[in-house]
Structure 1
């Protein structure tokens, strides 16, 4: 987004200094001033409060906008369930804690953010609310989810439509936000306002002000007074404030201010529950940074003793789940090892064994399926000792599903299929059709993946049809079914499934990427281009999307646009072989042959097996009359791709031009044996080489085959040399 008008970044050491530059909040004028401090409501403190102020008006006047983005709205501001109906629930969102066996991907919060930003774009138009202004105070103290929101809204929305002001201390701790501010915002220094410290103020009253601010106050006198009063007085203030907030019955307060106060209050049980409840919610919602933070805070107050084990395990295992989702898998395994050192509780050891197995087969960057198998077997042995039959059966089915994943990863697809099918049947037999609906849907979806890997596509579709029937609002299922249709060439049906997934999901980059590919295969390049462009709007670092759009631009003759995409991609990944190859093609299209050769050789330096780079470099060298160089490149390429007909064809052509006719005949023959689609051309050229070698009978046989394939551009030549053939 190129822009001259910019958003604003107000910096100053104190809130009072910065607020002097804030506009007055006035919803009637479209001005919203919001405190972003994470202490207040945890995840989406800022963005959630913005929606709490906006959505009632939007719901009243333009309810269709809210309906389209209902998942995002209720994820940001759960209190709005009193205003907005949750119309797109899934088995995942509805599952009770005891049956929650699937968690969201870490990218979900970014998808939610894009959806809310698109809702805001639809609101801030002249026919609705017009231009809006958002001011976010304490932006440097925001929670991770608001960090994503700030960075994304600064990038995606032009200040002429919505002006965003972040107000913070000069030191911005979030690199993503700082980068966006540097690029899209004007930095404004707040003047220092001289203030006189109040004299004779009651320390307890000053301390109370700090507590009432939920720890967000930066007034030095309030902080000093808070630290100076007796522990009992501080605890009493926090207890009182927690009770006041709980009486408001606003769920998001349980994610921020209430646990903050309970940690500092007098009741240990209230404190532990005050941390555990929001931690469970944050894990289920995919707010993994917040879940991890709450788990770390909770573990400070408990140990591995029997009376503390339930809390310790909850704080630990939800931390490990979050670490795995965030890609911090080594830290997760360290915590499980720590648990094994400190408890012999069978339930904890069983869950730790399963989770460690999944780290090794799914999450670690370097996977070890043998180690994963060892740990899953440990989990299964412990599950077999569970006395309660239903729990024993569920755990066995659940862990065998993990074993099936390992079997998939090592190529034992039939065994994986057996485990999943037996698990489904066992779950239905012991729990019926009303319990564990979520996990049954997971098993059905896993079965479809295995069937697809076995190329049993119709059966995979049958399974997906059933799982979509029972969980129609889960977009990943439509994505998976679209992928199966795409594999078997039923592209219209693939597109319909990708489209349905887009309709019911927050922005989901992979849906647009795959739909663009399907459109492209159908020759609907304008629709493919639109999907690639939207993909790059929400995920500008998507390398394959940028490469594919550059290719479409190049095919359309727009080399300038193609070059911009390629250069954007190379700025992210300078040694990306396909991008370098495409740059070479752009240079060739613009007849910059030296630059083209440089780019194609760079592509091969990055990937010595890249067929497209070899083919185009050989053509370029041939056109530069470096035929020997072309032959050398093609010979190297054939070493990597011995079945590639195009390489033999191109080398045969080069050999023919060098009058090395025997070698040309041999290469043309190899191209035919490799299934070349240029058989008619090959028969003529091989015949011409055979004529040069004096092998007239063989040449005439080739030309006869050439003529049998249809009209020939070489008819005059053949009539002169073999007139009898043209009269057959």
Structure 2
């Protein structure tokens, strides 16, 4: 079999070094002999590792977790500064990871109790974490002078985060090519753009020789080979069946033969086989064990899965093993399955791995029976409500709203009712586009009334009420009723301090203070806004987003640019790769004349998020100011490929084309900008200039006049006066020519 692997896979790997860093081996289940691949690739000169990609059995980064663990161990012992540099990604992706190299404590989002954890990560947060992890792995490989080939078995079962990490390793290591991936796909469904694909054929009888029972007669071995179709998994199972006395004859399908063999075993043998298979995380490459599992009585298998799941969860919580979800997800009783996935789901949610979480939870969310299962106060109900919370914050209100209404109708007295009504008010008041502040206020008021009626004696009454008032304050601010909003926020914080002091519910208290700061900023009271924001930071000093907001606020205050830059730097230090802070700092740096620093920040933004159109746009603007229209045009076009409906961008595209002497392209983009915003004054002004240069002064004057009426910029006045003067001079010239002509003798 090694020869076969060498013939089929090694050339693909060696060629893919030049063509693509990812090779997908398409194979029928049981066809790829993973243990022999390392031998086949031994002469490649790369470090070879073979792992299983099934996230359910190996954790949410299965397939790459072994590499991550090895590099963490090496870095901790030999280069702890690498762990320190990547700590904000590492500690958040792996909440139970402990390292002496960690120098920054966790923020309140990561340390608050379940009862008060009210922040949800934006869906882009996962990408930031993975960028940080990928850069850590690349840096380790460079320092160790390693080149890796990762052979990932069962790669079709890789988690979405693991697939994204592979893509990032390929993208971020574009020059040195430290990583190659051989992904074995038994399900014929795996896809990576630009990957090389190898289709693995069947084995010959000679190649399957080591699998077949040598005690069998040659004719019997031939029959087994023919029945197996050249598949080693089937051949090995049929060989065992034949050794057990079952006739492997041509008119029975292999699965039928295996099932008949199982029928010959007693109950104890089958139960023992089932138990060992489940305890192996259902990974035993044995068709007999697989069929025994598939045909065994459901309740017994569910019971064994539940036992193993609880043990696996305990091992995860003590930091001994990754989060194994296989056993919970394998429970065939859907109600018990829901109960068992509730806690692991909360773990995935708290990390921000939403794609993986909803990959299996979406099916549960769609099941009518499960949506109304439980007492209304049970962990399963909390799991659904948390899912709805995240869905509405992701802009999926049309999915979350019906569920929240359904929950409220089914469980009107649930302890989660205030949370549900809060979510509805925020859906309509903040996340739905366009917002509906009337409906949002109705839910907020109903929430406050419900709390007063049903939760007056609750031990967390003050917390629950202030939480609801917080939502109401947000709606009041959106309604431009700022005094009411400020009063609600200030009173709420006072109630919290009186009831709980400044230590309990610190996360929510910091949010209350932060929201007060936001309202003050809306009314342009920047000194009070700054004071509130700094108070929020005092509560939660390691929350980088607050520092980013401080940078934004200070950048509006004259002569405080240096402090703003310090705040942005602190935000970048505290967060995983934080493209928003780089983008904001770039704008400030450009404004104060540091174009090189601004370009560096924009380039870093595009490393973290290549499809951030604003970074391409702002980079184009800086390049235009540097009189580099060709380079600027490239950036503008990159931005337009992502977002073509921004009038400023279309106008600047027109300007870049104009600077390059391409008038037709310039006019086309100016007109597109005016389609998007007919009152875009800069475009009217620039279009006036372009038309004037083309010898169309009347059309030019029309656009110049509109620019002056809309914008009032002195430059627009100069443009219009220049066109008028030229028109008047041209008219005078024509009159002079006409007069001279009439004075000539006939």
- The equivalences for 1:183-202 within 5 A come to 183=194, 185-193=195-203, 194=230, 195=232, 196-199=235-238, 200=240
Moved more, 618-627 or 447-456: 618-627
- The equivalences for 1:242-253 within 5 A come to 242=309, 245=312, 248-249=315-316
What is the distance in 2 between the residues matched to 1:217 and 1:501? 47
User: Does structure 2 retain, via aligned residues, the 8 Å contact 1:361–1:406?
Assistant: yes
Give SS of 2:50's match: strand
**C-alpha offsets along residues 309-332 of structure 1, whole Å, 9 cap, x if unaligned?**
524422320221222233222110
Give SS of 2:237's match: coil
What is the distance in 2 between the residues matched to 1:81 and 1:56? 11
Q: 1:618 aligns with which of 680, 683, 688?
A: 688
2:540 is aligned to 471
What is the distance in 1 between the residues matched to 2:612 and 2:371? 44
Q: 1:339 aligns with which of 407, 432, 436?
A: 407
**C-alpha offsets along residues 339-385 of structure 1, whole Å, 9 cap, x if unaligned?**
13322325343322211111101111221011000001111011113
What is the distance in 2 between the residues matched to 1:524 and 1:42? 45
TM-score (norm. length: structure 2)? 0.80
1:688 is aligned to none
User: Does structure 1 retain, via aligned residues, the 8 Å contact 2:24–2:198?
Assistant: yes
Q: 1:64 aligns with which of 61, 81, 87?
A: 81
User: Does structure 2 retain, via aligned residues, the 8 Å contact 1:8–1:165?
Assistant: yes
What is the distance in 2 between the residues matched to 1:609 and 1:216? 65
1:274 is aligned to 340
What is the distance in 1 between the residues matched to 2:37 and 2:100? 30
Q: Aligned in 2, Cα 1:60/1:46: closer, same or farther, shift over 3 Å?
A: same
Is 1:509 paired with 2:519?
Answer: no
Moved more, 256-265 or 512-521: 256-265
What is the distance in 1 between the residues matched to 2:397 and 2:284? 36
2:157 is aligned to 141
Give SS of 1:659's match: helix
Is 1:76 paired with 2:90?
Answer: no
1:665 is aligned to none
Q: Aligned in 2, Cα 1:220/1:191: closer, same or farther, shift over 3 Å?
A: same
What is the distance in 2 between the residues matched to 1:654 and 1:170? 71
Q: Aligned in 2, Cα 1:599/1:264: closer, same or farther, shift over 3 Å?
A: closer
Q: Aligned in 2, Cα 1:500/1:30: closer, same or farther, shift over 3 Å?
A: farther
**C-alpha offsets along residues 223-266 of structure 1, whole Å, 9 cap, x if unaligned?**
33321223354245435644664574566899853563475289
Give SS of 2:423's match: helix
Q: 1:500 aligns with which of 570, 593, 598?
A: 570
1:8 is aligned to 22
1:536 is aligned to 606
Give SS of 1:257's match: coil
2:524 is aligned to 455
Q: Aligned in 2, Cα 1:599/1:51: closer, same or farther, shift over 3 Å?
A: same
User: Does structure 1 retain, via aligned residues, the 8 Å contact 2:554–2:563?
Assistant: yes
Q: Aligned in 2, Cα 1:22/1:73: closer, same or farther, shift over 3 Å?
A: farther
Moved more, 427-436 or 259-268: 259-268
Aligned length: 650
Instruction: Report deviation, 1:435.
Output: 0.7
Is 1:549 paired with 2:614?
Answer: no
What is the distance in 1 between the residues matched to 2:66 and 2:601? 32
Instruction: Report deviation, 1:17.
Output: 3.7
User: Does structure 2 retain, via aligned residues, the 8 Å contact 1:279–1:318?
Assistant: no
Instruction: Report deviation, 1:397.
Output: 0.8
Q: Aligned in 2, Cα 1:575/1:297: closer, same or farther, shift over 3 Å?
A: closer
Instruction: Report deviation, 1:635.
Output: 2.8
Give SS of 2:179's match: strand
What is the distance in 2 between the residues matched to 1:303 and 1:368? 26
What is the distance in 1 between the residues matched to 2:64 and 2:529? 40
What is the distance in 2 between the residues matched to 1:106 and 1:634? 44
User: Does structure 1 retain, via aligned residues, the 8 Å contact 2:376–2:414?
Assistant: no
What is the distance in 1 between the residues matched to 2:301 and 2:52? 24
2:146 is aligned to 130
Is 1:328 paired with 2:393?
Answer: no
User: Does structure 2 retain, via aligned residues, the 8 Å contact 1:408–1:450?
Assistant: yes
Instruction: Report deviation, 1:630.
Output: 1.0
User: Does structure 2 retain, via aligned residues, the 8 Å contact 1:634–1:647?
Assistant: yes
Q: Aligned in 2, Cα 1:617/1:264: closer, same or farther, shift over 3 Å?
A: same
1:40 is aligned to 57
What is the distance in 2 between the residues matched to 1:235 and 1:43? 23
Is 1:157 paired with 2:173?
Answer: yes
What is the distance in 2 between the residues matched to 1:268 and 1:336? 20
1:679 is aligned to none
Q: Aligned in 2, Cα 1:601/1:426: closer, same or farther, shift over 3 Å?
A: same
2:551 is aligned to 482
What is the distance in 2 between the residues matched to 1:86 and 1:287? 24
- The equivalences for 1:88-107 within 5 A come to 88-107=105-124
RMSD of aligned C-alpha atoms? 3.2
Moved more, 102-111 or 645-654: 645-654
1:524 is aligned to 594
1:446 is aligned to 515
Give SS of 2:728's match: coil
Q: Aligned in 2, Cα 1:244/1:275: closer, same or farther, shift over 3 Å?
A: closer
2:354 is aligned to 288
Moved more, 360-369 or 374-383: 360-369
What is the distance in 2 between the residues matched to 1:459 and 1:13? 65
What is the distance in 1 between the residues matched to 2:330 and 2:319? 17
Q: Aligned in 2, Cα 1:65/1:528: closer, same or farther, shift over 3 Å?
A: same
User: Does structure 2 retain, via aligned residues, the 8 Å contact 1:124–1:161?
Assistant: no
TM-score (norm. length: structure 1)? 0.82
Instruction: Report deviation, 1:486.
Output: 1.0
1:415 is aligned to 484
Which runs of 5 or more residues in structure 1 are unaligned?
663-728
